[in-house]
Amino acid sequence: MPTSMPGAAMLRQAFQRFSITASPSTASSTSYNTSSSAVAPRRLTRTFSARPAMASSSIRPAIAARTPSSFLQHHMRRPFSATAAVQGTWLEPQLDRRKRMMKGRPRVATGGSAKGTTVVWGDYGLRMYDHHRRISAKQLKVAEDTIKQRLRGQKYRLYKRVNCNVGVFVSGNEMRMGKGKGSFDHWAARVAVNRVVFELRGAIHEQVARDAFRLAGNKLPGQYEFVKKGDAPVVGITKMENGLTLEDLKRPWKAAADVPAVEEASSGPAASAPPA
């Protein structure tokens, strides 16, 4: 091909020299036929095949059989706690300490609920009866160690009815107002009034259990009382004993007095005589 030919003529001659035609092919392959007067015809064939899928037998049966519901029921099961259950121990949950929490107030039932005020799992219990408050994990740990030290060498089981799931944040002493909430200090539990904190079950005498709970109550803030299984529940601050029922509490204190209707006399204005 002469080099002095213009560019358009060179492109036209190149297209006439090389002709590309598609030959019939199957569904799984595509063929291209390139023919030229100077170059021998050549056939290019490319086959497209799908990637083999992963066999279902490679999945381990143990992972396939485990469901999220059964996993949560196994690791987050705490049926005897009166507070919210979270992963971790009853004194230190697996929660993010950097997430700030509000101080809040303990939930006190006002609709007639007596949940958490009776002994459920053990034979004896320790119940707080003065006022709701927030108890730290360190105080609960000291009370637990006191009970274990008093009952050393005996066969028993101790149940904890509260769970430390509230983070306490402090900003230090002599700090000016503002500048954020502060840093994490310790975990605590919100305990409502008349809630059972500890329960005890085993082959122990009642006087020994009373003495153990007395020592534990001295280590905790507030006032506590010794309760046994079968004692009356408490609604608010009222014990449901001596035949008292929930319907009696919902009844008003004073019955509404029947006030008779006063009939208004429709008499006209009386004409008074003018003074003499």
CATH number of the CATH domain containing 219: 3.90.1170.10
| CA atoms within 13 A of residue 1's CA, in its CB half-sphere | 12
Residue 88 lies in a domain: no
Residue 149 lies in a domain: yes
Q: Which residues contact 212 (CB under 8 A, 6 or more apart)?
A: 146, 147, 150, 151, 200
| pTM of the model as a whole | 0.59
Tell me phi and psi for residue 202, to 5 degrees.
160, -175
Condensed to tens digits (0 to 9), the pLDDT of residues 164-205 reads 999 999 988 888 888 888 899 999 999 999 999 999 999 999
Assign residue 158 a region: left if phi > 0, alpha if psi is -120 to 50, beta otherwise?
A: beta
Condensed to tens digits (0 to 9), the pLDDT of residues 18-67 reads 554 444 444 444 444 444 444 445 554 454 444 544 444 444 455 445 55
Residue 200 lies in a domain: yes
- The count of domains in the chain is 1
Q: Is residue 80 within 8 Å of residue 161, measured between CB atoms?
A: yes
Residue 216 lies in a domain: yes
Residue 48 lies in a domain: no
**Considering only CA atoms, which of 133, 105, 131, 115 is closest in space to residue 234?**
115
Q: Is residue 240 within 8 Å of residue 246, measured between CB atoms?
A: yes
Q: Which domain covers residue 147, as residue numbers? A: 124-173+180-233
Residue 195 lies in a domain: yes
Distance separating alpha carbons of residues 166 and 107, to the nearest angstrom: 13
Residue 256 lies in a domain: no
